[in-house]
């Protein structure tokens, strides 16, 4: 092998090692509540386009649920963990109906959201948007901006629990039992 070939191989190995070290030593994403609202803070509110335009003049607002405990879930149809957790959120909505309202805030266009919730039989309130929902996501404490992101708010409007990443039915039940 020529000197040039050996140098290319050495350079490729150096780049690969540098990338690997960088990946392993990178900082984890910021924890929920390090930017925006945190546990113990009042919920910061939201107003977004309702998927069902008949609802409240075409918008869903956090104020629509004043005096009720609320589980707010930020998600998108293109997010695989979001898609996997939706049945658990629907089950929580049904099991705790009258005690807790689940609200989905989709970072997506209305057509794929409508198709997806119809496919899964989701019947809790769903709002959608793009940059506006991403801004709410951050105000609600998601410093990483990753999806899915779920926040539990008590009936007084205080954030009691924040969860970044896919949530299981068991984790949801534990949070509800501990904080409501």
Tell me the mean pLDDT in the region 68-86. 96
Residue 17, pLDDT above cutoff 90: no
Check residues 45 and 10 and name the one with the higher pLDDT: 45
Higher pLDDT, 26 or 166: 166
Section 44-73 average pLDDT: 87
Contact status, residue 106 vs residue 136, Cβ threshold 8 Å: no
- Higher-confidence position of 11 and 177: 177
pLDDT at 54 over 90: no
Residue 140's pLDDT is 96
Tell whether omega for the bond before 113 is within 30 degrees of 0, i.e. cis.
Answer: no
CATH 3.40.1440.60 for the 47-179 domain, yes or no: no
pLDDT beyond 70 at 25: no
d(CA 66, CA 38): 19
Q: Are 71 and 88 in contact (CB under 8 A)?
A: no
Mean pLDDT, range 22-33, rounded to an integer: 58
Per the model's pLDDT, the better-predicted residue between 67 and 55 turns out to be 67
Mean pLDDT along residues 96-100: 94
Note the pTM of the prediction, 2 decimals: 0.81
Give the ranges where 3-96 is alpha helix by DSSP (H).
3-25, 80-95
Q: State yes or no: pLDDT of 18 exceeds 70.
A: no
Mean pLDDT of 5-17: 45
Q: pLDDT (tens digit, 9 = 90+) per residue, 133-148?
A: 999 999 999 988 899 9
Q: 134: which residues sit within 8 A by CB, 6+ positions away?
A: 107, 145
pLDDT value at position 26?
55
pLDDT score for 32: 73
pLDDT of residue 97: 94
């Amino acid at each position: 092998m020529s000197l040039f070939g050996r140098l290319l191989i050495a350079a490729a190995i150096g780049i690969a090692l540098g990338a690997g070290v960088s990946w392993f030593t990178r900082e984890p994403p910021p924890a929920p509540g390090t930017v925006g609202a945190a546990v113990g803070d009042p919920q910061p509110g939201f107003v977004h386009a309702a998927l069902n335009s008949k609802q409240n003049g075409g918008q869903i607002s956090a104020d629509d649920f004043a005096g009720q405990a609320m589980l707010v879930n930020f998600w998108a149809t293109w997010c695989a963990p979001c898609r996997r957790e939706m049945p658990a959120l629907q089950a929580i909505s049904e099991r705790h109906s009258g005690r807790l309202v689940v609200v989905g805030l989709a970072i997506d266009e209305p057509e794929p959201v409508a198709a997806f919730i119809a496919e899964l039989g989701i019947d809790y309130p769903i709002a959608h948007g793009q940059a506006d929902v991403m801004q709410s996501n951050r105000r609600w404490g998601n410093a990483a901006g990753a999806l899915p992101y779920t926040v539990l708010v008590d009936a007084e409007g205080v954030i009691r629990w924040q969860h970044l990443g896919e949530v299981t039915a068991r984790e949801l039940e534990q949070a509800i039992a501990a904080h409501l």
